[in-house]
C-alpha cells in the first residue's frame, strides 16, 4: 500500500490534495484540539487513500464505492472507522469519518475512478523534480 510520509506528502496529486484539504478543514472546524501540521496531514492523506481503496476493493464498482462513502451500512462503517484508526488518534476518528462522508457528497463516480486509478498506477504522488 502506498503511504504518505513527511518526505513525500507535498508531492501529492492535485486532485487528492484538494480532497485532503477539504477533509482537514472540516475536521479542524469540528474539533478545536485538532492541529494541522505535517504529521496530521500525512495521517489524513493515508486515511483518505485507505478508505477509498478499502471500499473500492470490497465493492469493485465506482458507483457502489461512492454510495459506501456517502451512506455506509453498518459493516462498512466498522471497516471505515478501523481504517481511520490505523492512521489517526481515536479522539479524531468520528470527526475524520464525518468529514470524509461530507466530502463524498461533493464527489462523483469519475472522482472515485480517478482516485482508484491513481492508486493502482502508483501515481498518487507526483514525480520528484
- C-alpha 44/C-alpha 61 separation (Å) is 24
pLDDT given at position 30: 77
pLDDT given at position 45: 77
- C-alpha 29/C-alpha 71 separation (Å) is 22
pLDDT given at position 100: 79
With a cut of 50, list the residues of the chain below it in pLDDT. 1, 129
Domain boundaries, the chain: 11-120
pLDDT given at position 107: 79
Please answer whether residues 94 and 88 qualify as being in contact, where contact means their C-beta atoms are separated by less than 8 angstroms: no
Rounded to 10 deg, the angle between the 109-120 and 14-30 helix axes is 110
pLDDT given at position 32: 76
pLDDT given at position 2: 65
Q: How far is CA 79 from the centre of its chain?
A: 13
Please answer whether residues 27 and 96 qualify as being in contact, where contact means their C-beta atoms are separated by less than 8 angstroms: yes
Please state the pTM of the whole predicted model. Answer: 0.69
pLDDT given at position 128: 55
What backbone torsions phi and psi does residue 125 show, to the nearest 5 degrees? -110, 140
Amino acid at each position: 500500500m502506498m503511504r504518505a510520509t513527511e518526505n513525500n506528502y507535498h508531492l501529492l496529486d492535485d486532485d487528492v490534495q484538494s480532497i485532503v484539504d477539504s477533509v482537514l478543514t472540516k475536521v479542524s472546524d469540528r474539533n478545536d484540539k485538532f492541529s494541522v501540521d505535517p504529521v496530521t496531514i500525512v495521517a489524513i492523506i493515508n486515511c483518505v487513500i485507505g478508505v477509498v481503496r478499502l471500499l473500492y476493493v470490497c465493492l469493485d464498482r465506482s458507483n457502489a464505492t461512492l454510495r459506501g462513502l456517502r451512506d455506509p451500512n453498518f459493516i462498512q462503517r466498522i471497516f471505515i472507522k478501523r481504517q481511520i484508526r490505523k492512521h489517526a488518534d481515536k479522539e479524531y476518528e468520528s470527526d475524520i469519518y464525518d468529514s470524509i462522508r461530507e466530502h463524498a457528497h461533493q464527489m462523483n463516480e469519475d472522482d472515485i475512478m480517478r482516485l482508484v486509478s491513481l492508486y493502482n498506477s502508483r501515481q498518487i504522488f507526483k514525480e520528484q523534480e
